[in-house]
Amino acid sequence: MSTDKRKARPALGMGLDALLTDSLEGDYFLCPVEKITPSPSQPRKIFPPDSIEELAQSLREKGLIQPIVVRKLGEGGYELIAGERRWRAAQKAGLMELPAILRNAGAEEVLELALVENVQRENLNPVDEARAYKLLMDTTGMTQESVSGRIGKSRVAVANSLRLLSLSPDCLDEVRNGNITAGHARALLAAPHQHRMDLLHVIIDRGLSVREAEALASKPLKPKAAAKAHRDPDIMAVEKKLSRALGTKASLRQGRKKGSGTITLRYQTLDELDRIIEIVEGRGR
pLDDT tens for each residue of 101-115: 888 877 777 777 777
Q: Does residue 134 share a domain with residue 240?
A: no
pLDDT tens for each residue of 37-53: 888 777 677 777 887 88
Residue 6 lies in a domain: no
Residue 123's pLDDT is 62
Q: Does residue 152 share a domain with residue 243?
A: no
Q: What confidence tier does 118 reach under pLDDT thresholds 50, 70, 90?
A: low
Residue 86: alpha-carbon gap to chain centroid:
15
Of the candidates 25, 61, 84, 97, the residue annotated as catalytic is 84
How many domains, in total, are found in the chain? 3
Q: What confidence tier does 274 reach under pLDDT thresholds 50, 70, 90?
A: confident
Tell me how far apart the alpha carbons of residues 213 and 215 are, in angstroms, rounded to a whole number: 5
Q: Does residue 225 share a domain with residue 127?
A: no
Residue 84 appears among annotated catalytic residues:
yes
Mean pLDDT over 55-78 rounds to 85
Q: Does residue 21 share a domain with residue 154?
A: yes
Residue 2 lies in a domain: no
Residue 43's pLDDT is 67
For residue 63, pLDDT over 60 is answered with yes
Q: Does residue 95 share a domain with residue 218?
A: no
Q: Does residue 78 share a domain with residue 59?
A: yes
CATH code for the domain in which residue 101 is found: 3.90.1530.10
Q: Does residue 241 share a domain with residue 208?
A: no
For residue 275, pLDDT over 50 is answered with yes
Q: Does residue 250 share a domain with residue 142?
A: no
Select, from the ranges 47-61, 116-130, 179-193, the one with the highest average predicted confidence (pLDDT). 179-193
Q: Does residue 153 share a domain with residue 260?
A: no
Residue 223 lies in a domain: yes
Mean pLDDT over 207-219 rounds to 87
Greatest pairwise CA separation for the chain in angstroms: 85
Contacts of 203 by beta carbon, 8 Å cutoff, 6+ apart: 180, 184, 187, 188, 213, 216
Between residues 237 and 166, which one has the greater pLDDT?
166
pTM beyond 0.85, yes or no:
no
Residue 3 lies in a domain: no
